Amino acid sequence: MARRIVVGFAVETSIHALRLMGSGLFDEFPKVQVIVGHLGEGLPFGIGRVDHRISRAAVAMKAKLPMKDYLQQTFYITASGNFGTQAFD
């Protein structure tokens, strides 16, 4: 059970952040800042792929910018919770 909680938290946090980005929230409130720990829960590593898939989707998004821009402009990524050198390497 504990393993599912650890993996689930990272995935759910990433999805929640992406939904906030895609909702247009940060266009409406550009001064909002969000802090995400654990090296961004994988978002910095996968944001390019997210933008690529969105660019090919037939679904209209409320967000005006690519997700990468919101991640860079709105989110602070911390190393909290990561104590292994593999992630830093």
User: Domain range spanning residue 79?
Assistant: 2-83
Alpha-carbon distance 29 to 37, whole Å? 22
Residue 88 counted as domain residue: no
CA geometry: angle 19, 23, 26, nearest 5 deg: 105
* pTM listed for this prediction: 0.83
Q: Mean pLDDT across the stretch 61-79?
A: 94
pLDDT at position 60, please?
81
Structural domain includes residue 89: no
Total domains in the fold of the chain:
1
User: Is residue 17 a part of any domain in this protein?
Assistant: yes
At 34, the pLDDT band (50, 70, 90 cuts) reads very high
pLDDT reported for residue 76 = 96
